[in-house]
A and B are shown apart, each in its own frame.
Chain A
Amino acid sequence: MKQFDITEKDDFLKMEIMETLRLVIDPELEINIMDLGLVYAVYVKENQIEIEMTLSSSHCPMGSSIVGGVQNCLEQHYPDYKTTVNLVWEPAWSHKNISEEGKRLLGI
């Protein structure tokens, strides 16, 4: 569970961004990237949004679609912000990252 500071103005925006990123779907698994646990962190600085995320595999054929999807989604919803997506491989993605809702969608 992400922790938020209600006295911090940017934290509301971060929460909103995280909800917005639920619109980005992994085209193969058909589950949004938040429930898959691909997004590690969201940073907001002045007019910049920085997303730190991973992929389920470094050779994922859907990788460019997912990263492009994040970029498109944020540019469309936050046109006043410059968006950067940083792919990280540490910590490596594991099935433990999947949320309860994601597990339900996968049929677990």
Chain B
Amino acid sequence: MTNQSQSSLYQLVVTHYLLAACSFLAMAVMLWIASEDLNGHYFHPKLLAITHTAALGWATLIIFGACYQLLPVILETTLYSIKLSWLSLGLFFIGLIFLVFSFWIFEPGIIMQIASVFLLVGIVFFVLNMVLTAKQVKNQNIYQEFMVTASIWLLVTAILGLLMVFNFRYPFLPKDHLQFLKMHAHMGIGGWFLLLIMGASAKLIPMFLVSTKQPVKYLNVAYYLINISLLLFLIDTYYAGINFKTYFIALIAACGITAWLAYVLECVFSRMRKTVDLPIWHTLLSFILLVVALIVLPFIIYHQLKENPLAIRNSNLYGTLLLMGWITALILGQTFKTLPYIAWVKHYEHLTGKGNIPLPANLYNNGLLKVQLVVFSLFCLIFYVGLMVKSTLLVKIGLICFLSTALLYVANVLVVVLHKPKRISHETV
């Protein structure tokens, strides 16, 4: 790669990370403002605005940025088009701002409709870029399958989202809006986030830990079970809503996730690198939060079948465990595996072997990351207990921890992005 294209790739990736960090901070502030609504129904304007800020602004933007940097490396090829990526980002982010704004004030008119079109076109450009990049590679592997399938699920999620936006003003969907909301949410969580995280972590975790065992057969099982359960969920929910069969569909998904966790555990137990660094601790915490969210799932189905209002509270717990717990913990850690590497490649890769240069892990502030892990763990303990026992005080204290986590995260991202390259020292040469 030429210096010029490396520099434009760096700008593209860092812009994604910075916008995602801003979205995280915005989400933490919005949660604080809407903290009392967390005990109400999830189909609430402010909660819809926060969910989309979390899912699209925070999680998806980071994933887009990391994909642009890492996919060409993993697939040993070049990114199909940087211009297409910028176009995708521009449309996506403008669409996101207006979508969130129109959800917050709940004005499902022309602004929300145009915003959802912008978002969809931005996503189409991203998927196109990914597929055309992956197409340049001859040898297909399971990691690629996970990533490409996840991108397709993202596209389908966005298409359904757009239809739902238009359905507000011009009702045409044949079923209840909430039924489509469940399908939209699970396509996004299970199809986009889960599959992408499974594929990327299956490749990166053994690499970071130097694992001697990587049982790929578990990944194949996970891939098929998750996709089958999603398809069954969509068909069954469309025709019958949540019903007794939903337990079995959730069980299939749980088996898929268990197969993937078995793969991750095998990698962890067979690791050569015994010291576990802070980003990996965040990652392990995220997996625990995913398991807790899965435990909540049968309770939602149970209460839904009994038409008990507890189904709503459990759904809020489930949603926040996934977005603010699992996905957030994962990003809080993996940002400091990927972003320092990206900055390091720009500043120091050409100097490797010439003398004493900092390593990627030296580009972020380890102290800040340690405090971030502690504060985020406190958030998990206090906030989720508060949500379960319906304590506004505990929820608010938890959200203070969440806001503090966001501030610590943004500060550390700036430490990496604003890093001034050090002059090369020849002391060891």
Contact assessment for B212 and A28 in the assembled complex, using a CB-CB cutoff below 8 Å: no
Chain A residues, Cβ within 8 Å of B354 = 72-73, 76
Contact assessment for A27 and B74 in the assembled complex, using a CB-CB cutoff below 8 Å: no
In the bound complex, CA of A94 to CA of B212 (Å): 8
Contact assessment for B210 and A29 in the assembled complex, using a CB-CB cutoff below 8 Å: yes
Contact with A along B350-375 (1 / 0, CB 8 A): 11111000011100000000000000
Contact assessment for B76 and A68 in the assembled complex, using a CB-CB cutoff below 8 Å: no
Contact assessment for A59 and B74 in the assembled complex, using a CB-CB cutoff below 8 Å: yes
Shortest Cβ gap from B292 to chain A (Å): 30
Range of interface residues on A (Cβ < 8 Å): 20 to 34
Contact assessment for B207 and A60 in the assembled complex, using a CB-CB cutoff below 8 Å: yes
Closest to A94 in B: B212
Q: Is B274 an interface residue (CB 8 A)?
A: yes
Q: Is B349 an interface residue (CB 8 A)?
A: yes
Among B169-223, those with CB < 8 Å from A are 203, 207-208, 210, 212
Shortest Cβ gap from B133 to chain A (Å): 14
Q: Is A1 an interface residue (CB 8 A)?
A: no
In the bound complex, CA of A24 to CA of B212 (Å): 23
Contact with B along A65-108 (1 / 0, CB 8 A): 11011111110110000000000000000110010000100111
Contact assessment for A65 and B349 in the assembled complex, using a CB-CB cutoff below 8 Å: yes
Closest to B351 in A: A72
In the bound complex, CA of A108 to CA of B212 (Å): 13
Chain B residues, Cβ within 8 Å of A106 = 210, 272-275
In the bound complex, CA of A77 to CA of B341 (Å): 27
Contact assessment for B429 and A107 in the assembled complex, using a CB-CB cutoff below 8 Å: no
Known: A59-B76, A106-B272, A107-B273. A76 touches B429 (CB 8 A): yes
Closest to B75 in A: A59
In the bound complex, CA of A69 to CA of B428 (Å): 14
Shortest Cβ gap from B75 to chain A (Å): 8
Contact assessment for A70 and B353 in the assembled complex, using a CB-CB cutoff below 8 Å: yes
Q: Is A3 an interface residue (CB 8 A)?
A: no
Contact assessment for B361 and A30 in the assembled complex, using a CB-CB cutoff below 8 Å: yes
Contact assessment for A95 and B212 in the assembled complex, using a CB-CB cutoff below 8 Å: yes
Contact assessment for B352 and A28 in the assembled complex, using a CB-CB cutoff below 8 Å: no
Closest to B143 in A: A59
Contact with A along B269-309 (1 / 0, CB 8 A): 00011110000000000000000000000000000000000
Q: Is B345 an interface residue (CB 8 A)?
A: yes
Closest to A33 in B: B353
Q: Is A48 an interface residue (CB 8 A)?
A: no
In the bound complex, CA of A80 to CA of B410 (Å): 48
Known: A95-B272, A107-B273. A69 touches B353 (CB 8 A): yes
Chain B residues, Cβ within 8 Å of A108 = 272, 274
Known: A72-B352, A72-B354, A107-B275. A95 touches B210 (CB 8 A): yes
Q: Which of A27, A30, A65, A103 has the most chain B CB within a 10 Å cutoff? A: A27
Closest to A66 in B: B352
Chain A residues, Cβ within 8 Å of B210 = 29, 56, 95, 106
Shortest Cβ gap from B92 to chain A (Å): 25
Closest to A76 in B: B354
Chain B residues, Cβ within 8 Å of A42 = none
Q: Is B344 an interface residue (CB 8 A)?
A: yes
Contact with A along B319-356 (1 / 0, CB 8 A): 00000000000000000000001001100011111100
Contact assessment for A23 and B273 in the assembled complex, using a CB-CB cutoff below 8 Å: no
Known: A69-B352, A72-B351. A23 touches B359 (CB 8 A): no
Contact assessment for B352 and A59 in the assembled complex, using a CB-CB cutoff below 8 Å: no
Q: Which of B349, B350, B428 has the most chain A CB within a 10 Å cutoff? A: B349
Q: Is B73 an interface residue (CB 8 A)?
A: yes
Shortest Cβ gap from A13 to chain B (Å): 18
Chain B residues, Cβ within 8 Å of A61 = 70, 73-74, 207, 341
Contact assessment for A107 and B359 in the assembled complex, using a CB-CB cutoff below 8 Å: no
Known: A66-B352, A70-B353. A59 touches B73 (CB 8 A): yes
Chain B residues, Cβ within 8 Å of A72 = 350-354
Contact with A along B387-429 (1 / 0, CB 8 A): 0000000000000000000000000000000000000000011
Contact assessment for B70 and A24 in the assembled complex, using a CB-CB cutoff below 8 Å: no
Shortest Cβ gap from B370 to chain A (Å): 18
Among A42-61, those with CB < 8 Å from B are 56-61
Since A59-B203, A60-B207, A61-B74 are in contact, a sample of 14 more A-B pairs with Cβ atoms closer than 8 Å, ordered by chain A residue number, is A23-B428, A25-B352, A28-B207, A58-B76, A59-B74, A65-B352, A66-B352, A68-B353, A69-B352, A71-B353, A72-B350, A77-B429, A106-B272, A107-B274
**A/B interface sample: 18 pairs, CB < 8 A:** A23-B429, A25-B352, A25-B359, A27-B360, A28-B341, A56-B210, A59-B76, A60-B207, A61-B74, A62-B341, A65-B345, A65-B352, A68-B349, A72-B352, A76-B354, A95-B212, A106-B275, A108-B274
What are the 10 tightest A-B residue pairs by CB atom distance, in nearest-first order? A73-B353, A69-B352, A69-B353, A107-B274, A72-B353, A61-B73, A24-B353, A107-B275, A72-B354, A65-B349
